[in-house]
Amino acid sequence: MLNPIARRELVTTLRQRRMLLMQCGLALSFSLLVILRWPTEPRMALSGTRSQEVFRLFAYGLLSALLLMLPVFPATSIVRERNSGTLALLLNTPLGAWRIFWGKLLSVMSLAGLMLSLSLPAAAACYALGGISLTHDLLAVYGMLVLAALQFAALGLLVSTYATTTDAAVRWTYGLVLLSSVLSLGPHQFFQGTETYLADVGEWLRCASPFAAVMSLQGAGDLGASGLISTSNVPGRFAIVSLILSAVFSLWTISRLNHTIFDQARAAGLISNDQNFGIQLWRRVMFLVDPQRRSRAMGPLVNPVMVKEFRCRRFGRLHWLLRLIAVCAVLSLGLTYATVTGTVDWGVDTIGAILVLMQVALLVLITPSLASGLLSTERESGGWPLLQMTPLSPTRIVWGKLLSVILTLLLVLCATLPGYVVMVYIEPGLRLQVERVVICLLATAGFAMLLSAAIGSLFPRTAPATAASYAALLAVCGTPLLIWLGRDAPFGHDTVENALLINPVAAALSVIRLPGFRDYELIPGNWWFLGIASAVCLMVLMGQTHRISRPQ
């Protein structure tokens, strides 16, 4: 390998023990995806329907694994160099920005190639069943996966140049991957068939998602009421959009790889308390919560660890939370207003599904970033011994940290309550369904928080803890949907229902009676699973807290 950066990055990554575990897990997972639907009868269907069903499930699983595991490597690449002081040394070498960038990109693409190569035996088994074209099916799907890996690798490297910590880089990268691969499908899902420019915008937005490209290649069925399949050439558009975005991200990253990346001059600002009364009054009226105002002293009954988390965490500051709540509230009311006025003929069940998906997307995006570093951040920064020297017990320390996450998630959940209130006002018969949906969302928030906190407590560093928490939570919410995509063919009703029992997203959608989920009875089975899993995660968290609190 000619590029020394690529050689160093790749060798360092492959020497880690978790890489060996990841490779074994991927090979086992890909094999299970094929074995689960391997024909049990000695006869083969001449139409190749069974082989297409097996390959479809395999393609979705391979794409999901790629999006879950790959982004963490480019996201932490440059920011780790800058924090350790080696990026300045690299910029002073004769390599230059171009070779540094291509070395890091080549190492990430080599890891992506390793992940794809581990799936080749399972892909060969699918091809051996017959009914699959080598060029139009197998090579086309792998081509889409390579383009998706290139796009998200370039995106992760770009985010890594702006982030100041590794956990922030992982958080922003996973959020942008979720936005471009999943949430970009929403506008097309709800605006297709209308004679507006929004339909055209939604058509092009979904072409940025690899899921839409793979679904179009596989000829998959609909996702819900509207579907994702149309007559447009989605794979061709995805290839164009992916190459353009990859080029833009690459040039943007290369332009930042110079000594100005270390210059982060910021205005000192003025404390509002030191200004005249008129300016203080104007800022209070305009911002409601002034971020430049001195905080008051903590009360005697307030947990000081909770206050510390709110004041030290950028996203935990109250003015950021209020901005997020305001955006969510406006979106929820706007959706219900569009339905009431007849602007968009969606129906109450579709509006409820949009609200549920919006809240679950926020929970999946926000919760791991808040809860995964509760203990790992303190251990990495050396703050845990300082907390142990305070009069606070380990239980009260952990409770204060959890309380900061609980209050944040409650504010996020309350943001879309106006939309549910309008739904009940429009259709009073939906009151019981809305109550069950709210219970599902509360259970989902508690499960996501405790799962992220428990997984994060197992790691001594924040970046691996955040990445593992995102991967685990997305696996719980996404893996059962792979089986749901194969409902009726090849999976039966009971198999799909048992798989969806662990999925909080599917439980909420079944309660709201969304087409595609209304035939499955997931309540109260899902509540039992979330409750038991949350209790187990809480015990793991407390056990890890007790372990690291013992005298060293």
- What is the pLDDT at residue 155? 92
Residue 192: strand, helix, or coil: coil
Q: How large is the angle between the packed helices 431-456 and 504-511, nearest 10 degrees? A: 170
- What is the pLDDT at residue 136? 77
d(CA 339, CA 483): 32
Given the structure tokens 């994702």, which residue do they identify?
228
Q: Is the pLDDT of residue 248 over 60?
A: yes
Token pair recorded at residue 442? 């509360």
% of the chain exceeding 90 in pLDDT: 9
- What is the pLDDT at residue 264? 65
Average pLDDT over residues 19-34: 76
**Nearby residues of 416 by Cβ (< 8 Å), 6 or more positions away:** 328, 329, 331, 332, 355, 358, 359
- What is the pLDDT at residue 194? 59
Q: Is the pLDDT of residue 361 over 80?
A: no
- What is the pLDDT at residue 334? 64
Q: Which range is most confident: 107-111, 299-303, 411-415?
A: 107-111
Whole-model pTM?
0.72
d(CA 76, CA 321): 26
- What is the pLDDT at residue 231? 47
Average pLDDT over residues 399-415: 83
**Nearby residues of 40 by Cβ (< 8 Å), 6 or more positions away:** none
Q: Is the pLDDT of residue 110 over 50?
A: yes
Q: Which range is most confident: 73-82, 130-139, 514-523, 528-537?
A: 528-537
Q: Is the pLDDT of residue 144 over 70?
A: yes
**Nearby residues of 185 by Cβ (< 8 Å), 6 or more positions away:** 205, 206, 209, 211, 212, 223, 228
* Residues 278-320: tens digit of each pLDDT: 777 776 666 656 666 666 666 677 778 887 877 776 555 555 6
d(CA 335, CA 358): 12
- Mean predicted lDDT score pLDDT of the chain: 78
- Greater pLDDT, 340 or 202: 202
Return the DSSP state at 261. Answer: G
* Residues 174-225: tens digit of each pLDDT: 888 888 887 677 666 666 655 666 666 767 777 788 888 887 777 654 444 3
Average pLDDT over residues 386-394: 85
Average pLDDT over residues 112-117: 88
- What is the pLDDT at residue 223? 43
Handedness of CA 527, 530, 536, 542 (dihedral sign): negative
